[in-house]
Chain A
Amino acid sequence: MNTVVSEPRPLLEVRDLVTRFPVRRGILGTLARAPRRAVHAVEGVSLSIGAGEMLALVGESGCGKTTVAQSILRLVDPVSGTIDLDGRRLTGLSQRQLRPIRRTVQMIYQDPYESLDPRFRVRHAIEEPMLIHRFGGDRAERERRVAEALTRVELTPPQMFLDRYPHELSGGQRQRVAIAASLVLDPSLLVADEPVSMLDVSVRAGVLRILDDLRRTGDMSVLMITHDLSTAAHFADRIAVMYLGRIVEEGPARVVVRRPQHPYTKALLSVVPKRDPRDRSELQVLTGEPPNPVAPPSGCRFHPRCPVALDECRVTDPALRTVPGEPDHRAACVLVGAPQA
């Protein structure tokens, strides 16, 4: 264990992912030969998650973060790019071939009130994934796994919850059941889409801590999609900030939050409301809203709203550049590398 080992291959590796949704033209449009338009939801996203790591994908609505998750799960098909899970190339596989692999990537949804079938008792909800995948052994073994999953999400004693219906549980408990239902398949990657945004504040930390513990002890990684920078800063190892289909900044969570390099990240961080009323730091409120992903701006996608845009930003579309002195911190801005003002 003491021998120098080369960097382990990341669990998930996404390269240059492009996913677009065609906008329907309708009969008139087709007849008039209107150009085919598409929503450029994801335009060249690359990211990687190591085993046991939590990456937070942060951004406002329309930035493409949910589409990235859906592409990884192959719920939508990317136009180009590659997705490798544990060395296996997922892109290019048919839906049929993907079936066995689906077991290893599980998703937790935002709405705890909708993600469980109201007619399934907790035990069935957690057992079902095993039945679908013919996984988990015989009946007794499956029951054991269900109880174990409930324990791992801290719904103890399991017997108290097994026969309940979702409407008898609180939001936080439902979300835990959803997590338990994902755990029974021993996934290697958990994609959590806004896992706590619909829960009460006092309950959020509990659910997040469970996710955190699971990935630390369970040989599992977590891709957390969220708009909440504070949550990302506290629980994730790394943060990737998305804007209009691209990652504009990524790096270790604490570093991105304390030393943001991209103007968008800086503005975003500045407007997060602070708990301490005495903290009256300047808010950089950007005007307007992110433009329509159907027609992204030329050059740097952020330049129309950027407070420090230069002339060249209108023409150059910067790639992610490494921040000098911080090898795992990158930002897509021409100013990166330039001395701080």
Chain B
Amino acid sequence: MGMRSDTLSDSPEDIQADLASGHRNWLWGIIKESRQAKLGLIVLLVFVLVAIFAPLLAPYDPRQQVGPVYAPPSWQHPLGLDDGGVDMVSLLIYGGRVSLIVGFAATMVAMVIGGGIGILSGYFGGRTDQVLMRITDYFLVIPDLPLAIIVAAVWGPSLSHLIFVIALLLWTTTARIIRAQVKSVRERVYVKRARSLGASDLRIIARHVLPQIGPLLIANTVLTVAVAIFDETALSFLGLGDPTSITWGTIIEFSFLRTAISSGAWWAVIPAGLCVAIVIMACFWLGQAIEDALNPRLKVSYVSPRRFRMRLPTTEDDR
């Protein structure tokens, strides 16, 4: 009471923000500006390209024995051979293919479900929101390992089942994040204006809400890929994946099963794990950088004194 919402802002942050905001909203601009994001993107691209061109790049057939069991690294086989005498480098390259595919596929499914539910929930609110969020809560509490075990046991282990399980576990977080964002976008004046103009809900969601949450959706997707790949590795390692396929997870799984460590064959264990770790890191770098850039610039209000710089009187230029 007694107040209007009126601001003619003059603060230094706003002046700077105004001038710098030119390309802030564009994804490419964000990526360009962050070294972290660039690094993450490059690393990811390298892995994806290697995976795509696997047949051309892999020096040997990943299912063919080319030497003795657990042969150590040598010039012909920089990462040695595994328990079946297969070249590790080729294994890693082909394994990366499947790991990445599973990771991306599971993420896509999770995004579609989670994004869809998040948008519907956030935009329509009310009953729809309550029902959908209740469903989301149920899925949130499902423990991942038992679910994977049950699915593998009941329907048999396969890659598509793995994708299904991972997607089931991942969509809930996305749904919540997207819902929160959609709720706030919905309250923006230009959305209200579109509604008062008589725009249909579909139009508003498609042209006003989606573009606004798009970048966040992308950031979330990238981060989810990291989790999906990790999940795949872990579940395969536990034997819940498809034992006939080659993934980073199964590589590690077999190396453990075939006592690579006690044989001293570190090259059969570590490189695969490293690949997973690097890809996850790259996803994090990229995803976090985008997310950070999109967060409404936390207006650390100028009340908190931070050190400014004094220019000494001798170096005055104009005037």
Contact = CB atoms under 8 A, between A and B. Distances in A.
Residues of B in contact with A, size category: 20 to 34
Contact of B4 (A98, A119, A128, A227): A227
A281 B72 CA distance: 98
A98 B196 CA distance: 11
A73 interface: yes
A298 to B, nearest CB: 20
B196 A289 contact: no
B208 A60 contact: no
Interface string B3-17: 111111000000000
Interface residues of A, number: 35
A123 to B, nearest CB: 14
Given A61-B3, A198-B7, A198-B8, A102 B197 contact: yes
A137 B96 CA distance: 55
Interface string B302-315: 00000000000000
B1 A289 contact: yes
B186 to A, nearest CB: 13
Contacts of B211: 119
A116 B194 CA distance: 10
Contacts of A102: 196-198
Contacts of A129: 197
Q: Is the interface of A mostly helix, strand, loop or mixed?
A: loop
A292 B2 CA distance: 11
Contacts of B298: none
Interface string A188-218: 0000001001111000000000000000000
Given A128-B194, A132-B203, A167 B21 contact: yes
A103 B199 CA distance: 11
29 contacts: A60-B2, A61-B2, A61-B4, A62-B1, A75-B196, A98-B198, A102-B196, A106-B197, A107-B196, A109-B189, A109-B193, A110-B5, A114-B188, A114-B190, A115-B193, A116-B190, A117-B190, A117-B194, A117-B212, A119-B25, A119-B211, A167-B21, A167-B22, A168-B22, A197-B4, A198-B8, A200-B8, A289-B1, A292-B1
Interface of B: 1-8, 18, 21-22, 25, 188-191, 193-194, 196-200, 203, 207-208, 211-212
Interface of A: 60-62, 73, 75, 98-99, 102-103, 106-107, 109-111, 114-119, 128-129, 132-133, 167-168, 194, 197-200, 227, 289-290, 292
